[in-house]
Amino acid sequence: MKKRQDLLSLSSELWWADGWPQSATQKTIGSGFEALDQELPAGGWPCGALSELLSKQIGIGELRLLIPVMRQLTLQQKTVMLMNPPMLPYGPALASHGVDMNYLILLKASDVFDRLWAIEQCLRSNSLGCILAWLPHTDLRPTVFRRLQLAAQQFEGPSFVFRPMQVHTQACAAALRVLLLPRPQQRLGLRILKRRGPMHSEVLEIELPTSCPSF
């Protein structure tokens, strides 16, 4: 026990695999789903860190999952950027859930490397409240995500990248990796593949907001 305490005293960023980080400085933003917050380190989506959301197909509720975050930030007059969403979000539906459309912007970049460059620059500039970016199946080197994770550490808000489920076996420096699974009746399954804390093998189910965009 003393050896464990001595090691943890070296840095607040150290933790044992069966426990949670000791750092109290991790800033988060509530997901809007109590059951999910209980499984996320420090009780919410991490700020100053990259989160990777994986899914087998689009349109299963991945955007609805982040509506509470988008609502909270835009009401604080912080800009949320959506980069290359696979479908055009339906503005009136987002507005009906309290998202201030004046603080929502869409950015398109057809070339994946242009997209990655834009994501990194936005993170380093720290001029936005949140970034949601969709990336293709293209095989990307682990160094790409190490660069994004390092850039995200300079970003005060949460940052999310959406990728196909097929890449879940590839190494990724994102602090959080979550697999999204379709469920009936406006529900979504989430399996946390990686987090700063103990392993989580169960599938968590949440009820999504209704009357929203198709994804």
Q: Which tokens go with 212?
A: 């929203």
pLDDT, residue 1, reads 53
What confidence tens digit (pLDDT) does each residue in 184-213 have? 988 999 999 999 877 777 899 999 988 555
Please give the average per-residue pLDDT across 91-95, as a whole number: 92
Q: How far apart are CA 81 and CA 70, in angstroms?
A: 10
What confidence tens digit (pLDDT) does each residue in 127-176 have? 999 999 999 877 788 899 999 999 999 999 999 999 999 888 888 899 99
Q: How far apart are CA 51 and CA 190, in angstroms?
A: 13
Q: Coil, helix or strand for 165? A: helix
pLDDT, residue 86, reads 92
**Orientation angle between helical segments 112-125 and 142-152, nearest 10 degrees:** 20
pLDDT, residue 136, reads 84
- The one-letter amino acid code at 105 reads I
pLDDT, residue 15, reads 47
- What DSSP element (H or E) covers 35? helix 34-37
pLDDT, residue 98, reads 95
Q: How far apart are CA 99 and CA 14, in angstroms?
A: 37
128-139 burial code (b ≥16 CB/10 A, e <16): bbbbbbbbeeee
Least confident of 5-9, 44-48, 162-166: 5-9
Please give the average per-residue pLDDT across 43-68, as a whole number: 95
CB-based contact 82:58 (threshold 8 Å): no
